[in-house]
Amino acid sequence: MGEINMGEWNILKNADLPLEVVILIIGGITMLITGFLLFPISSGALPYYENGLYGLLLIIFALQTITLGKTPFGDIPRSKTLLAVGTAIASMGIVTGFVPDVFKSIPRLLLFLCFGLGGFLLLIQMIFSKDKLRVWIKYGGIFWHLIFACSLVYVMSMALGLFIWNQSLLSVPLAAVAVLISGSAILYLAVVLRNVYAKYPEAAEPRNGSVQLSFDQTMLLMMGIFMLLLGLLLIPVNLGLLPFSGSAQLGLLMIMFAVQMLASGNTPIGSFPRSWLMILLGLLFAALGIVSCIIPEILVPSLTVLVAALNILGGSISLVKIFIPLLIKSPDPQNSVPTIVVKLFAVQLTTYLLTVLFGISMFVSNLIPGLVIGVILAANGCFLLYMLYILKALEKLQLNG
């Protein structure tokens, strides 16, 4: 037997996972957890929130579209139009999860198109594209695995699309098996792509387009939209005009945290090296979020405490970080600070204060009226989006300066 290199299993070792692989892992785990949960759901042992699952799947498709230009129908250079479409899909996913049946059958139709038609078009593109199947066959090796993984994912995607549109095609246990196969295929594709991108790193780069958003900026956009929609929806919810799923809200927020942890090592309390320990924590966050989206109320008490603590701790740490430099370095009246930097400081300060306030309101029920919490969250979302605008403006100044 060969010796085991313990260095390869060091949990603190740097983990290199391309963004596409991260999103595929989230999608694969979503399918696997859904498949396992469908068995007790089919026997009535667990409740089931279909809209929570649909909302989560739409957000995963939106993330691929916005961050990579990889749509369910093929790769497209990132443009303002594509960004708008991805943002619209993400918004629909968020609202679908928050408010039961608000869009009726529209989420099912979108998922049918993404899974069913998308899987078919991607399979056709793989077969007839000059730079895919023919080239992969010529290269051989790991590309044979890529051919098999892509084919299996696309075929299962078509099958799931048909089932989502017409759920009478399969019994729930058979559907669970199909979802498990799909999840396994997606994770298999993620492993294959990681190996391919390790050998050909240039292939992992998204196609150039007119829109240049970094991953952190994209997640800032997503979080801003999330908070804005959550805050706006909480106003009619607290007036008794709309139903609301608190478990899906917490679940989707955990997924947002998980994606950032897996892709860049960013957590609600700060940035850390992207080690395998961070990957494991991100996977744990993702699993908790997925279960909370699908099974209503079961994780609400524990996730409420966790999210509240992360908001308070993360907001407080960020406040300390922006104030320490001011205390250490006295301002020089001869060197005036640019107006845009002052605006950024004010926006960050307000955002972190609102984050802490939201966390405290989660810990202490009835401390802040529900309508006020809605306004706070909506304002937080607006400030996050304004922060993104300022960061892009600073980038332009630096490029032109």
- In 3D, which of 60, 104, 107 has the Cα closest to residue 86? 60
What are φ and ψ of residue 32, in 5° steps? -65, -45
Reply yes or no on whether the pLDDT at 389 is more than 60. yes
pLDDT for the residue numbered 331: 55
Most confident of 78-87, 183-192, 256-265, 367-376: 183-192
Q: Helices 246-264 and 50-68 meet at what angle, rounded to 10?
A: 30
Return the pLDDT at 347. Answer: 87
Residue 359 predicted with pLDDT over 90: no
Q: What's the mean pLDDT in 349-370?
A: 83
- For 213, half-sphere exposure in the C-beta direction (CA atoms, 13 angstrom radius) is 23
pLDDT band at 332 (very low <50, low <70, confident <90, very high): low
Angstrom distance (rounded) from CA 277 to CA 266: 13
How far is Cα 3 from Cα 194, in angstroms, rounded to an integer?
25
Inter-residue contact 37 to 79 (CB < 8 Å): no
Q: How confident is the model at residue 395 (pLDDT cuts 50, 70, 90)?
A: confident
Burial of 202 (0-12, 13-18, 19+ CB in 10 A): exposed
Amino acid occupying residue 110: L
pLDDT at 9 over 70: no
Q: Mean pLDDT across the chain, nearest whole number?
A: 88
Which of the four pLDDT bands, split at 50, 70 and 90, describes residue 7? very low
Give the whole-angstrom CA distance, residue 355 versus residue 252. Answer: 17
Helices assigned H by DSSP within 239-275: 246-264
Q: Which residue has the tokens 């387009």?
A: 209
The mean-pLDDT minimum among 172-186, 234-248, 262-276 falls in 262-276
Phi-psi region of 297 (alpha: psi -120 to 50; beta: other; left: phi over 0): left
User: Could you give the percent of the chain with pLDDT greater than 70?
Assistant: 92
Asked if residue 392 has pLDDT above 60, the reply is yes
- Per-domain residue ranges for the chain? 15-213+245-297, 302-400
Q: What is the pTM of this model?
A: 0.90
List, for residues 57-96, the tens digit of each pLDDT value. Answer: 999 999 999 988 888 898 888 888 999 999 999 999 999 9
Comparing CA positions, the residue from 153, 159, 162 lying closest to residue 182 is 153
From first CA to last CA, the distance across the chain in angstroms is: 61
Return d(Cα 73, Cα 27) in angstroms, integer.
17
Which pLDDT score is estimated for 55? 95
- Position 334 scores a pLDDT of 54
Q: Are strands 74-75 and 70-71 parallel, antiparallel or unpaired?
A: antiparallel
